Amino acid sequence: MGGTNANSLIEIRKKLGNDLRWISAFHPKVYLSDLGCIICSANLSNNGVGFLGQNGLIEVGVFHEYGSSVYTQAKDWFDKCFHQALPVSDVEIDIACRTWSADRKGMPDSDGTLKGWNVILTYEEIDEKLKDDANIFLENNHSKYSIDINNVDFFQDLPESRILSGYYINVHVGSRGKIYITALRFLFSKNFETTDGKSIISYFEALKWKGLLLKNLMRKFFQKIVQLGK
C-alpha cells in the first residue's frame, strides 16, 4: 500500500466501499472494462500513463477486445483474485498515508517519528517443533489470508497476543547479542497444541522499509522501549 497515493485511496473508497480491495505483494497491471482488456507494465499513475502531461517512463502492453478468449481468461482471473483480496480498511489507509510521503529510504514517517506504532521486544527463539507446525499452517493457509509467506514472521506467546492489531517495530536480540529491527504488520494469531499445553503463535507481515535500520532511528526505538518499561 505504500506506493499508492493515499488521497486517491480515500476518494476511491468513498465510492467503492468494501469493493476497494488489496493483496499483499500483488503487482500485476490488468485493466478491464466493457470495451476490452489491457495487460501492460504501466501503473495507473502520472508516471505510467501521463494524466498531467507526458509520462516519464517507457511502458509496453497489449489490448484485447471485449469477449475475446484472453479477455475472458483475464476476467476469470480477476474475479478469483478479487474474492481472495481483503477490503482496504482504515489501517491500510493509515499506512498508505505514512508511506506516500516517505523518503527514498522507505521510512514510514518523513520526520522519523513513530506515531501510532507499538514495540515488540523479543529475545528467545521459538520451540523447533512448534516452529515447524506454525510453518506448515502458514504454507497450507497463506492463500486464504492473501499473504506472501516469504514476508511473514511469527512469535510465540506474546503478551496480549489476543488483542494485537496494527503496526509494530520488532526489536529482536539474537543469541550472540546482535540486535535486529523490523517493521511489522499484525496478521492473525492461532492456538497450537504443545507438550506443555497450548501456545499462541502471532503472525506478522515483515514490511520492506530498510530505512528503519538507520542508526539515528535506533535511538528513537530504544527511547520508546525505555518509556514503555517505566
In the chain, where the domains are located: 6-99, 102-229
Give the pLDDT of residue 175: 75
Show the cell assigned to 142.
497463506
Q: What local confidence, expressed as pLDDT, does residue 63 receive?
A: 96
Between 201 and 6, residue with greater pLDDT: 201
pLDDT digits (tens, 9 = 90+) for 117-149: 778 888 877 788 888 999 999 888 776 666 678
- What is the rounded average pLDDT for all residues in the chain? 78
pLDDT band at residue 185, thresholds of 50, 70 and 90? confident
Say which range, 29-33, 69-73, 140-144, 226-230, has the weakest mean pLDDT: 226-230
Distance CA 191, CA 128 (A): 16
Burial 187-207 (b: 16+ CB within 10 A, else e): bebbeeeeeeeebebbbbbeb
Task: Measure the CA–CA gap between 56 and 50, rounded to whole angstroms.
Answer: 8
Rounded to an integer, what distance in angstroms lies between the CA atom of residue 124 and that of residue 175? 8
Could you report the per-residue pLDDT of 19-28, keeping only the tens digit for each? Answer: 999 887 788 9
- Backbone φ and ψ for 227, nearest 5 degrees, come out as -65, -40
Q: Which three cell numbers, joined as nine digits, stand for 57?
A: 517512463
pTM of this prediction? 0.50
Alpha carbon distance 173, 125 (integer Å): 10
State how beta strands 197-207 and 86-87 pair.
unpaired
The per-residue pLDDT for 220 is 56
* Cross-strand partners of 38: 31, 63
- Residue 206 backbone class (left: φ over 0; alpha: ψ -120 to 50; beta: rest): beta
